[in-house]
Amino acid sequence: MSETTGRITVTRLVRPLGDPFRRYKVFVDDEEVGDIRRRETKTYEVEPGPHQLHLELGWALFQPSDVRRSKAAFADVAPGEEMKFTCKARATMGVLGGMLRWDHITVTPVERVHAPGATFRPAKPEPMPGAPNDEELQAAWQAWIGASDRATELRTALQAAIAAHDDGEATRLKSEVQDRLADRKRLAAEYQRLKALRPDWDAPAR
């Protein structure tokens, strides 16, 4: 590997014991670059920059395309850098595997090797396509927390109105509390949706 290119390396695991005879086709950026069998490790030279890796079953009669193909894995490879992945099959019944699930093949990043010196560090998960940036996640988190804090304030005010036998204010606050709780539920769901796309993002400490 030269200092101006990078590498993507794929190792096919033996366990679980699925697809003992099938080969997997290897695709980088939707271009077939080779195939891999159990116990094998294959390395492919790539240009620096972002790349998409996926695998497909070499042969699988009567299986739909979403079963034959793994989910995509993503790597942003720097010059002189190697990104390592493992792949494996889901365990199936029978020698030939029978009917397969849509997530039959999985591809997982395991480490990044830097040149020179082959220094190792765990690979940071690559963001999914369409994943929010840090500012969008921060805004979603703040909106959720703000709605939670406002609901708490309104509940405290409602308890005070009830204690003061202010029926008119209590009725108003009950309605507003319900609205704020609905907002909090909606904003929490939106934050969790965005967070699922960025598992590497950590919410600020409160």
Q: Please indicate, yes or no, whether residues 84 and 138 belong to a single structural domain of this protein.
A: no
State yes or no: pLDDT of 118 exceeds 50: no
Q: Please indicate, yes or no, whether residues 35 and 111 belong to a single structural domain of this protein.
A: yes
Q: Please indicate, yes or no, whether residues 15 and 60 belong to a single structural domain of this protein.
A: yes
Pick from 122, 148, 175: which residue ends a domain?
122
Q: Please indicate, yes or no, whether residues 73 and 142 belong to a single structural domain of this protein.
A: no
- Provide φ and ψ at 112, rounded to 5°: -120, 130
53-87 pLDDT, tens digit per residue, is 999 887 655 555 556 788 888 888 888 889 999 99
Would you place residue 201 in the very low, low, confident or very high pLDDT band (cuts 50, 70, 90)? confident
Q: Please indicate, yes or no, whether residues 157 and 77 belong to a single structural domain of this protein.
A: no
**pLDDT at position 119, please?**
42
DSSP string, the chain: --TT-EEEEEEE---S---SS--EEEEETTEEEEEE-TT-EEEEEE-SEEEEEEEEES--TT--HHHHBPPPEEEEEPTT-EEEEEEEE---SSSS--S--TT-EEEEEEEEEETTTTEEEEPPPPPPTT---HHHHHHHHHHHHHHHHHHHHHHHHHHHHHHTT-HHHHHHHHHHHHHHHHHHHHHHHHHHHHHHH-TT--PPP-
Q: Please indicate, yes or no, whether residues 97 and 13 belong to a single structural domain of this protein.
A: yes
Examine residue 189 and state whether it is found in any structural domain, yes or no: yes
Examine residue 204 and state whether it is found in any structural domain, yes or no: no
Examine residue 116 and state whether it is found in any structural domain, yes or no: yes
Of the ranges 12-16, 25-29, 99-103, 128-132, the best mean pLDDT one:
25-29
Q: Please indicate, yes or no, whether residues 113 and 139 belong to a single structural domain of this protein.
A: no
Overall number of domains in the chain: 2
Please give the residue range of the domain that contains residue 38. 6-122
